[in-house]
């Protein structure tokens, strides 16, 4: 890596981390109950803590910020991988139907347990990512089956199939939510639109193992993702088992998406926008794109969540809606750019 290129990469990475710290600080200290920075430091370092600050900082705001950051990181990395596998800049876990498959499985979980385990018991919270993984795998298997052509996965068929299967799973989730009672329907409706308002430390514990295991696995495959940008015959001539590597990377991406969906619901467009912004900033090599994309994803979700919960007070928008307000125009821009 040239020295100038590496310096730019480090500058972008450190700037992104600095912006995340600023966004987290702003979200931690501002809201319906403003808190001074001194009170935040005293609370975190346990110097003269107060019950009010403990409740607002440690129980409400801090776990919400942590969940927002982790979800943004997971979705951004998954989106980077999926765009690398498909060689399609419009690919995204939501567009491919993986979000919808994982979400439908978790709605099934919520429907049969009627919300008794969701958000309250450890067993329910730790099990939800597994249900999401099953749904994401089911979606991926169907996508694989319908997009397989002439002994390989056709990238264009992959996108079209993903959109269709995602619509089917979304319809299933909607049907089940309509069968729920009023209380559970409200919870499911807010969750499916993408919300982290109910974040707590149990959710952090449930998502962390997935990120700790899968992100380093994907990071080690950064060079393989670079190779996938070549023609498939060229990649095979280098001795790479293309379908096996695609399967491993896709499985890792599904695991990340499932874990994120289980704690935040269906948040879209992070996996679409983050890789594009990262490639514009640091180039196309995935050993640089993956970390920068993760940082951008974290910043987008933390910043969007703060805007969603404060701009329209006392009404609070789901963070998924706020991100869609940004993501839909960006998707249309990319679509017209691709046509041009």
Quick: pLDDT tens for 257-276: 988 988 888 888 899 999 99
Under the banding of pLDDT at 50, 70 and 90, the label for residue 199 is: confident
pLDDT in tens, 219-256: 999 998 988 888 777 777 777 787 788 888 988 998 89
- The confidence score (pLDDT) of residue 155 equals 66
**Locus of tokens 């310096």:** 7
pLDDT at 119: 45
Q: Are 251 and 88 in contact (CB under 8 A)?
A: no
Per-residue pLDDT at 214 = 94
What is the full DSSP assignment across 96-160? TTHHHHHHHHHHHHHHHHTTSSTTT-HHHHHHHHHHHHHHHHHHHHHHHHHHEETTEE-HHHHHH
Residue ranges of domains in the chain: 3-339
Pairwise CA distance, residues 178 & 53, whole Å: 39
More confident call, 231 vs 37: 37
Q: Which pLDDT value is given to residue 303?
A: 94
Residue with the larger pLDDT of the pair 183 and 322: 322
> Which one is predicted more confidently, 207 or 315?
207
The answer to whether domain 3-339 has CATH 3.40.50.300 is: no
DSSP string, 225-259: HHHTTS-HHHHHHTT--HHHHHHHHHHHHHHHHHH
2 contact partners, CB below 8 Å, separation of at least 6: none
pLDDT in tens, 141-173: 888 788 777 766 666 777 788 888 888 998 998
Tell me if 284 sits within 8 A of 293, measured CB to CB: no
pLDDT of residue 53: 84
């Amino acid at each position: 890596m040239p020295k100038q290129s590496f310096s730019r990469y480090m500058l972008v990475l450190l700037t992104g981390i600095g912006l995340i710290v600023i966004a987290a600080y702003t979200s931690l200290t501002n809201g319906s109950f403003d808190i001074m920075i001194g009170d935040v430091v005293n609370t975190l370092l346990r110097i003269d803590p107060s019950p009010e600050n403990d409740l607002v900082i440690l129980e409400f705001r801090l776990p919400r910020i942590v969940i927002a950051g982790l979800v943004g990181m997971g979705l951004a990395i998954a989106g980077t991988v999926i765009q690398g596998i498909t060689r399609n800049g419009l690919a995204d876990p939501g567009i491919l139907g993986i979000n919808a498959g994982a979400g439908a499985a978790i709605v099934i979980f919520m429907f049969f347990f009627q919300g008794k385990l969701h958000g309250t018991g450890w067993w329910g919270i730790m099990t939800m990512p597994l249900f999401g993984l099953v749904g994401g795998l089911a979606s991926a298997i169907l996508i694989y089956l319908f997009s397989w052509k002439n002994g390989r996965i056709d990238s264009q068929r992959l996108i079209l199939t993903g959109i269709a299967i995602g619509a089917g799973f979304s319809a299933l989730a909607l049907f089940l939510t309509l069968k729920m009672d009023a209380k559970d329907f409200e919870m499911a409706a807010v969750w499916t639109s993408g919300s982290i308002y109910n974040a707590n430390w149990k959710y952090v514990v449930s998502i962390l193992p997935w990120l700790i295991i899968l992100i380093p696995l994907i990071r080690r495959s950064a060079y393989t993702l670079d190779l996938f940008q070549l023609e498939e015959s060229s990649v095979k001539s280098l001795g790479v088992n293309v379908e096996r590597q695609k399967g491993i990377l896709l499985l890792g991406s599904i695991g990340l998406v499932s874990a994120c969906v289980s704690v935040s619901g269906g948040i879209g467009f992070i996996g679409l926008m983050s890789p594009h912004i990262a490639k514009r900033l640091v180039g196309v090599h995935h050993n640089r794109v993956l970390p920068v994309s993760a940082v951008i994803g974290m910043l987008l979700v933390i910043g969007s969540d703060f805007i969603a919960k404060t701009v329209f007070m006392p009404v609070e928008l789901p963070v998924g809606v706020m991100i869609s307000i940004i993501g839909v125009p960006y998707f249309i821009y990319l679509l017209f750019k691709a046509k041009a």
